[in-house]
Structure 1
Amino acid sequence: MAIVDRIEASIGRALEIPQGGLAPAALAEALPYAVLPGGARIRPTILMSVALACGDDRPELSDAAAAALELIHCASLVHDDLPCFDDAGLRRGKPSVHCAYSQPLAVLTGDSLIILAFEVLARAGEDGRTMRLIRALARRTGMPNGICAGQGWESEPQIDLGAYHRSKTAALFIAATEMGAIAAGHDGEAWNDLGALIGEAFQVADDLRDALMGEEALGKPGGQDALHGRPNAVAELGVKGAFDRLNDILAGAISSIPSCPGEAALAQMVRMQSQRIVPRMPARYRA
């Protein structure tokens, strides 16, 4: 089965868990609304690709890890879009959860998806690998270095840009590479650098897309970094400098891949994923 099919099937199975019984109907409906149809599924794709490169000897565990990671990502998007944060009315080309279902239900949707992610992992087994997966995902979700910390930096009077980007964006990419290796029985820490570099590249690419692309192309409002005064690579380096930095990071990411049976295929996957996230450089910035 292709990676994309495995990911969607595992997410579908996860979303069946909170349905049925006497569950509140609107919240039960909001959960799949927040997750389906999916975006690029970049994080679970990276996770599955690392697992495959490392042998993928327990595919049911890799599937659960991929679903859990994507559920955490989708939860973070629901919360990011709230009026108290980005106040974004669109996500993936449709109304954000708080616009479609109300702010209270959006908060509960994000919370429920986070809990569901850990339930999916807990159901996958009770052995050492599963526990390491739960710890890895928890570290990259909460404090002090997870995506919650990343959101928290935006409320500080002074922002440590490196720490901000490592937690807000890179954290779930580090989780992807670590969890892919752990699911296949390898040392997750050895894959930390690859995840951090992919995350940094994604952040720079996201800054460029926010600066250069509009709502129709993005499926969400553009120009949000400038509007909210957030630190970003375009403001710091300029458009040309941000593109140069992005190319350097991607080259470093490919060279950081640990030795493994599927090393060449994994390097090709990183190149392909980078092509999906990098916007086209406007002609006026090309040398």
Structure 2
Amino acid sequence: MDLSHRIDTAMSAAIARAQGQASPDGAVPGRLAAALHYAVTPGGARIRPTICLSVAKACGDDRPALSDSAAIALELIHCASLVHDDLPAFDNADFRRGKPTVHLAFSEPLAVLTGDSLIIAAFEELGGADDADAARALRLVRLLSRHTGMPHGICAGQGWESEAQVDLRAYHRSKTAALFVAATQMGALAAGQDPEPWEELGARIGEAFQVADDLRDALYDEQALGKPAGQDVANARPSAVEELGVQGAIKHLQDILSGAIASIPSCPGEGQLAQLVRLYAERMTPVAPARV
């Protein structure tokens, strides 16, 4: 089974559980249930769960069901963060992945509840692990919690946007890199390996992803992005383009990705993992901007 099929199958099952499809009396709030499905589809690149499963495979993937749960829990947290980020209190975005954002399609209260429900579903996914996997699952919960909340998780990343003085590296590490570190570490841990050596790879991929996102926001239009463009400038957010300029940001991106490949820990699937990072490097690097 290829990784995309594994991810899609596991995500469908997780959302069905979150929607209460197995509820004995079937009495669930239908609009909230619909919003949960809306928030995770279409799936986009699913880059974080793909990295998680790729690392698990590189480390042996001896418990694939647990690896799937780790990958899906991570993606549910990511989707929740997008729903919350798009709210009027934050980015006030109208589009995400080429369609109206959740708060426009369903209302602000339901968008808040959708994000909250996805977060709960993420931890429920890990909490439902088999008894034989309980020890690993508990460590996965701890890892995901660390990279989601304060002081260095994605909540901290959003919090940096309310500070008068922003540490750009700390901002990027929390807002974006945190879930990529979670992806590499949770993949290794799900396969029974020490997660600590995998931190640098995740941090480098995450930093590269944020720099690439800053470049796309500065160079591409709304049609190309599938969401509003120029948001860093419009919301006075710190960015690599603002700090380094376009060419400087591109050079910085290339340096980060070279370091990412060099940082891959020794493992049976090291070569295949390096190829995956090179593929992401090609996809991340802006080629032909649609606007300047």
TM-score of Structure 1 vs Structure 2, range by shorter chain:
over 0.9
- What aligned pairs does 1:156-171 form with structure 2 within 5 A after superposition? 156-171=163-178
For 1:135, the equivalent position in structure 2 comes to 142
For 2:227, the equivalent position in structure 1 comes to 220
Deviations 1:191-222 (Å, cap 9, x if unpaired)?
00000000000010000000000110100000
State the one-letter code of the partner of 2:4. V
User: Aligned pair 1:116/2:121, yes or no?
Assistant: yes
For 1:152, the equivalent position in structure 2 comes to 159
Deviations 1:227-247 (Å, cap 9, x if unpaired)?
111110111111111110000
User: Aligned pair 1:97/2:102, yes or no?
Assistant: yes
**How big is the shift at 1:281?**
5.3
User: Aligned pair 1:9/2:9, yes or no?
Assistant: yes
2-structure distance, mates of 1:162, 1:273: 21
> Residue 111 of structure 2: which of 76, 93, 106 is its match?
106
**How big is the shift at 1:282?**
5.4
**How big is the shift at 1:160?**
1.6
State the one-letter code of the partner of 2:10. S
Partner of 1:17: helix, strand, or coil?
Answer: helix
For 2:246, the equivalent position in structure 1 comes to 239
User: Aligned pair 1:72/2:80, yes or no?
Assistant: no
State the one-letter code of the partner of 2:150. M
For 1:210, the equivalent position in structure 2 comes to 217
Aligned residues: percent identity?
A: 67
**How big is the shift at 1:129?**
0.7
The number of aligned residues is: 284
Give the alignment's TM-score, normalised by structure 1: 0.97
Q: Tell me if the contact between 2:36 and 2:114 (Cα under 8 Å) persists in the aligned partners.
A: yes
2-structure distance, mates of 1:154, 1:23: 36
Structure 1 unpaired stretches of 5+: none
**How big is the shift at 1:111?**
0.2
2-structure distance, mates of 1:278, 1:224: 19
**How big is the shift at 1:163?**
1.2
**How big is the shift at 1:90?**
0.1
Q: Tell me if the contact between 2:59 and 2:268 (Cα under 8 Å) persists in the aligned partners.
A: yes
> Residue 193 of structure 2: which of 182, 186, 207 is its match?
186
Runs of 4+ in 1 over 3 A off after TM superposition: none
Q: Return 154-163 or 55-64, whichever deviates more.
A: 154-163
Give the alignment's TM-score, normalised by structure 2: 0.95
Deviations 1:110-144 (Å, cap 9, x if unpaired)?
00000000000110234211111111101000111
2-structure distance, mates of 1:265, 1:208: 28
For 2:34, the equivalent position in structure 1 comes to 29
Structure 2 unpaired stretches of 5+: none
2-structure distance, mates of 1:278, 1:151: 25
User: Aligned pair 1:266/2:287, yes or no?
Assistant: no
2-structure distance, mates of 1:239, 1:66: 33
Q: Return 76-85 or 149-158, whichever deviates more.
A: 149-158
2-structure distance, mates of 1:161, 1:258: 27
